[in-house]
Structure 1
Amino acid sequence: MALRHYTLDFKLSAPADCTSTVHGLQSIFQEQEMTETVHDTEGHGHLATFVGKKGRFVVLRVHTHGLVTVDLQCYEGDDSAQVDNLLNALETKLENLLRGIITRVKRLPAISRGASVDRYWPTADGRLVEYDIDHVLYDKDSAYQNIKILHSQQFGNMLVLNGDVNMADSDLAYTQAIMGGGRESYEGKEVLILGGGDGGILAETVKLKPKMITMLEISFCAVIDGCRQHMRKTCGDILDSLTGDCYQVLVEDCVPVLKKYVEEGRTFDYVINDLTAVPISTLPEEDSTWEFLRLILDLSIKVLRPSGKYFTQGNCANLTEALDLYEEQLQKLSCPVDFSKEVVCVPSYMELWVFYSVWKK
């Protein structure tokens, strides 16, 4: 059973009188038949906990620097109307007790903790967002990652890899941006897609009548199989077969295949990298990610024709330092390149995302 966590905050222009504030709230807790325990804060205001019916648990803090906070926890099956009545009573009483020094009152919707369907993810720059996910369609582990496909009422079916939202039915803007924003002609061209297991890039590129698309995806059973079942608004029927008149999907690690292409002198008009996003730091645990990114980038440029273009995602537009580090890598490749970037709103990401176009000088 999940736990619901409610918060109620009062920001004050001056510290509250702890004694009168706490005394003024006691009748409400007594009506709820809640047992009070007062805790020693060593001079840092007042802290009390209250335990009541059906496992309800309240933490009341009157902080010394001008803040009063109420945290209420209850089980998901608890009567929501009764819980709302308790919070309403506390809010009304505190507004009367603190009249004249309140600068802001903030009451947030309940956070659901431990639910069978997880609805919370951080954005790339560390902000918490809540999705309207109502059920899990697919959940499997491959040798490389955990793959989930979840249903969102707003964004449709969503592909989530290792807890990171990758693609939703709503996210055609992502696919269009990583293909050059509609400014490129793919007709009669040879295209290499790295990753892209959701099938969105493949499906959209096929519509543009290329000569041949080669897609390299390492995780067939988990990603491709899940997406062709549950992400058909994104991929259509393109993943029903791994080969078509103008495409082939190779279930292989892209690194050895790219190295082989370099040795053979094979080249492409477009390389679309839908693998790892730009890392957000250069901490030791990120070193392998940066090394992988640099390797893919250098190999991709080597298989790019002189007039060709390399497309990839960057990261959240707010992560300017990480994006700067990536752009520094572009100046260290085996041959000189130019690049441009585009900032796009990807609906299910709930943040602006940067995409790169790279070409040889």
Structure 2
Amino acid sequence: MAVEHYTLDFKLCAPADHSATVRGLQSIFQEQEMTETVHDTEGHGYLATFIGKNGRFAILRVHSHGLVTFDLQCCEGDDITQVDNLLNALEKKLKALLHGNVQRVKRLPALQRGAEVDRYWPTADGRLVEYDIDEVVYDKDSAYQNIKILHSQQFGNILILNGDVNLAESDLPYTQAIMGSGRECYAGKEVLILGGGDGGILCEAVKLKPKMITMVEIDQLVIDGCRKHMRKTCGNVLDNLKGDCYEVLVEDCVPVLKKFVEEGRTFDYVINDLTAVPISTAPEEESTWEFLRLILDLSIKVLRSSGKYFTQGNCVNLTEALGEYEELLGKLSCKVDFSKEVVCVPSYLELWVFYTIWKK
């Protein structure tokens, strides 16, 4: 059973008289039949916990620096009307008690903890987002990662790998951006896709009449899940691992890239859609940056002189990480140049950077 966590904050212009404030609130807690326990804060304001009917648990804190916080935990299924009445009464009473000293009042929607369907996923820059997820449609642990596909009312099904939002059925802008945003001619070209187990890039690239697409995805269970539950993204291209103009290799891309280098095989386009956290069986994978450098070096070696390498970067707010990546581009075995584009990816709820890289 989930717990609903409610919060009510009063930011004050100056520290409050906690004794008078608490006395003014006691009647509300008595009406709710909540038992108070006061805790010693060693002079740092006032702290009390309250236990009431139906397992309700509350924390009231009057901070000495000028903040009043109230946290209320209720079990799922508790009487919402009673909970609202308690919060409304507290908010009204505190406004009256702290009249003239209130800078801001903030009451957040209830946070659900321990629910069967997890709705909370962080953005790349560490902000917590609550999605409108109402169903878990796929949940598997492969040899490499946890794979979830969750249904969102806004974004359709969302692929989440090891807790990282990868792609939703709404996210065609991501796929278009990582393929060059319509500026490239794929007709008659040879394309290499690294990762891309959701099938989105493969589906869009097939429509552009390339000569041949080779896709290298390490995790069969990602393909299986997306084939069934992400069809708005992948269409029917994952129904078979081979088609008229494509082949999907279920392998680690590092040894495959090395093999292509040895064979002298080259491509017009290399599209890197690997997960943000490296997944590889290669012993060279000592860190994220070393892995990125390895993939870049190998990819540039299999890229034709007139070819282009496309990859996602990161959230625009992560300027330090983006800067490090761009520094890395200057340390490759082959000199390269690059351009970048910022795109809003719907389900990411943030702006995302995409890179186009080519040989100098």
With normalisation by structure 2, the TM-score equals 0.97
2:186 alignment counterpart: 186
Amino acid at match of 1:264: E
Q: CA RMSD in A?
A: 1.0
Task: Give 1:289 shift.
Answer: 1.5
Task: Give 1:278 shift.
Answer: 8.0
Task: Give 1:98 shift.
Answer: 0.4
The Cα offsets for residues 207-259 of structure 1, whole Å up to 9 and x where unpaired, read as 00000000001111x10000010000000111001111100101111111100
The Cα offsets for residues 106-141 of structure 1, whole Å up to 9 and x where unpaired, read as 000000000111111111111111111001000001
1:278 and 1:314 in contact (8 A); partners too: no
2:195 and 2:275 in contact (8 A); partners too: no
The Cα offsets for residues 279-332 of structure 1, whole Å up to 9 and x where unpaired, read as 9xxxxxx95221111111100000000000000001111001101111111111
1:271 alignment counterpart: 270
Between the aligned partners of 1:39 and 1:144, the Cα distance in structure 2 is: 47
1:327 alignment counterpart: 326
Amino acid at match of 1:227: C
SS of residue paired to 1:197 = coil
Between the aligned partners of 2:239 and 2:114, the Cα distance in structure 1 is: 36
Task: Give 1:276 shift.
Answer: 3.2
2:342 alignment counterpart: 343
- Confirm or deny that 1:206 pairs with 2:230: no
The Cα offsets for residues 66-100 of structure 1, whole Å up to 9 and x where unpaired, read as 11110000001101111011000000000000001
Matches within 5 A, 1:263-302: 263-277=262-276, 288-302=287-301
1:38 alignment counterpart: 38
Between the aligned partners of 1:223 and 1:64, the Cα distance in structure 2 is: 52
SS of residue paired to 1:272 = strand
1:229 alignment counterpart: 228
Size of the aligned set, in residue pairs, is 354
SS of residue paired to 2:225 = helix
Amino acid at match of 1:42: E
Amino acid at match of 1:191: V
1:72 alignment counterpart: 72
Between the aligned partners of 2:233 and 2:81, the Cα distance in structure 1 is: 40
Between the aligned partners of 1:122 and 1:143, the Cα distance in structure 2 is: 24
Between the aligned partners of 1:293 and 1:61, the Cα distance in structure 2 is: 47
SS of residue paired to 1:69 = strand
2:244 alignment counterpart: 245
Between the aligned partners of 2:290 and 2:317, the Cα distance in structure 1 is: 23
Task: Give 1:277 shift.
Answer: 2.9
1:125 alignment counterpart: 125
Identity between Structure 1 and Structure 2 (%): 83
1:33 and 1:53 in contact (8 A); partners too: yes
Between the aligned partners of 1:142 and 1:290, the Cα distance in structure 2 is: 24
Between the aligned partners of 1:317 and 1:103, the Cα distance in structure 2 is: 32
2:23 alignment counterpart: 23
Unaligned runs of 5+ in 1: 280-285
Amino acid at match of 1:215: M
